[in-house]
Structure 1
Amino acid sequence: MFHFGQRTTLIISILIMLLTACLLVWRPDYNFFDGGLITAILLTIFIKKDAATRFMGIACTLLVVIIACLPHKNPNLAEVFIEHFFSLILVISSTLLVLFLKRLYRTMQELNQALEREVEKRTANLELALSHLASSQAELKDALEKEKELNEIKSRFVSMASHEFRTPLSAILSSAALIGKYPALEDQPRREKHVFKIREAVIHLNELLEDFLSLGRIEEGKIHVHPEKISLHSFAIETVEEVQGLLKSGQVLHPEVDKTLEVISDKRLLKHIFVNLLTNASKFSPADTAIEWKLWQENGQINAIVTDHGMGIPEEDKAYLFSSFFRARNVTNIQGTGLGLHIVKRYVDMLHGEISVESSLGRGTSIFIHFPNLQAS
């Protein structure tokens, strides 16, 4: 089927051909009317289908032949026949010309389309190459940033370790030396005092080493989640017993959890998370204060909150709490590595949970944790 514009062109061409035929029948010796046939053929150049041009060419050729055979008023029949013969040549030439131009036009279109496809292909390849280049640049930038971050961590680690390890080791060395100076039986209270200092220093060293080992295992991808069914009530009692000996004088830890509440999660990671949070709550709170720990389930999520009534966190430091080796500016006189909350955040992420902090300076801190309960699902 022709488009509307092409159909109109074909109709006009046929009308011109029929009008010319009528004129030629009226005056067959007026061969200049043959120009109408050529015009009709030339109009088909605007029609895409070659069949239309062939149809017009054949029809006009037959029409010229028929007109040439009609009786003429001009007595010189040879002259009339020669004139129509040249008209026939023009009609056939016009038909061939139109067909040639159409094919040439189509060939140019095909070449143009092929060129456009090649340009699109080259453009796509160029975009892909640019994308790979951008990706490589991004990877290189990330690698450089990670290397820079690693160098900063190493620098901070060396600085922190040289201080944090020196202090308890010095305390152990001095206390051990002083114990040797109290051999008498009545010096037992003094010996016990230094034994207590050694015990505290060893506990602190153990905490430092545990933090470093945990961070190293996380970075190396050696820690994996092993889900199991856990009774959170039993888990809370077990964790409180483990932390109890680390509390300050007069500090009371209040766990609040439903006895029937169960969760499918990694007990080892949960133990590390809450031991860290509870010991932090004790460390940054004064003696004779309460530490609250609550666990409950809501909408298939296990929610936990650990609240202390200690020194709190400065507002400007909250954004960096979960960074490695970061310590708030108001705890410089309290021992620590600055790794605890960073490791807790990494463990919470491994459990597909979330952690957030609310704190007021001088009023205490609350740490919220939410993680999915596969048991509820």
Structure 2
Amino acid sequence: MPRLLHMKRHSIRRRLSAIFTAFGLLLVIFGLFSIWRLAEVYDASAEIRDRWLISTRLLGDLNNSTSDFRAAEASHLLAPDRVEMGKTEKEVAELSGAIAQARTSYEKVLHDSTEDKLWREFTEDWEAYRRVADEVIRLSSEGKKAAGNRLYLTRSRTAYSAASDALGVLTDRTVGSATEASNRAQAIFQKTRSLIVLAVAFLVFLSILVMRHISSSVLGPILDLATRMRSLATNQTDIETPGTERQDEIGEMARAIVVFRDNAIELAHSKRGLEQQAAMFAEKLEQEQRLTDLQRNFVSMASHEFRTPLTVIDGQAQRLIRMRDNGITGAELVERVEKVRMAVRRMTNLIDRLLNSLQVFEGTAELYYHPTKFDLAELLHDLCQTYREITPGAQIVENLRNAPRTAVGDPKLLYQAFSNLLSNAIKYSPNGSLVELSAYAEPGGQLIVVEDHGIGIPPADRERLFERYHRGSNVKGVVGTGIGLYLVKMVLEMHHGNIAVESVEGKGSRFIVRLPMAGQSNA
């Protein structure tokens, strides 16, 4: 009886049970730790999704709607008859509804005390402006244009500036807070990834120690015993049987063999379980990284695509300011305002297209485009005129005498593609250098050439020139996202066209676009 109790205290089964129990507890702790860290990552992402993305979108809508409301106020004063006034009043009503809806939605989002204070300042300033704006519209409707103009240029302008400034301060703070939240989420994700990698490494190291211990204290004697047993199977009865002095299951030959066989099977199952856990955590980390990349891509793409229409709006506004002192006619004012509104419409269209292009960049959907007949020469001329106004220091020469008058394609997408090429030619050229845009008809299609005398493209960069996010090695210090030429290539491929480049580093570049003739773009 004392011998049996002593054997139980040193039982291999008890030792292995303690080891695997401790190892199982470590796995449970590791799993709970991973869940806790991933939950923290999820909470940080949820804050960005449920608070900052919504807030920035609503503030962007408010900025657009309030500026449109101010423009509608001016349009009412400039309306020549009651019909135009009625249209403007309808637009004012629609904008009022949109602003009210955006304000209601914004107030439902959680905000801190500073944001609430800035929001109250904006709402008070906006209500004050609305009262003055309503008075301007009333005077205009009653035919008192002179009084309406005076009120529009004095009290209305001051009230609108106060509301716009308050909204701008709130928007800047929200964008800054959103950036901080994004940085926090990124830091949490990186810390979580590092901790999980360390934990996995620790578990692997611990597994190695456990396996070495089992091999030296259990498997080795079993293998030796198996050799003895095989010898016994060959009727070698004169062998010595070691281990008879051990106070454990190895001393009991038949049952020890069965116990260690089962333990070997259990060890194999545990190893497969560890591999499955490691694969699962690797997949989770890959999904989180993919989400982070999508958010970063969207922000960079949106900032690149919105730059041109916003610059058009700014250029037209500066032109109006310069023309104010020299006198401006109603027709000129309407023309400038229409160009501003055209840029706003183009930017609104870009928003819809950017949302769809996220799926395109992931390879999950096709970019929708709307082909129609349009005047290619007029489109290129308007593009040159736009860049002459927004970049007065550039010398843009257009050679469109032989340009085709009729083309088939999506004029908005093609305008954006040629705008990217012309913008790059100006941006990567010295101020005041010559930039040429030419268009010709050729057998089977049209030829459009954009040529500059700028920094050129290094030979090593040309192979990857049209890859997404790739930028040349010689463009440091020049702002860019690396997606402009990628989008150009996408648009041309949709139109069954192609693009080629000729460049000498330090002397300039020449981009050659070929489009099929009218009627073949959808072939």
Same-fold status (TM-score > 0.5): no
TM-score scaled by length of structure 2: 0.32
Structure number with the higher helix fraction is: 2
Task: Point out the structure with the larger strand share.
Answer: 1
Q: Which has the higher contact order (CA 8 A, sep 6+)?
A: 1
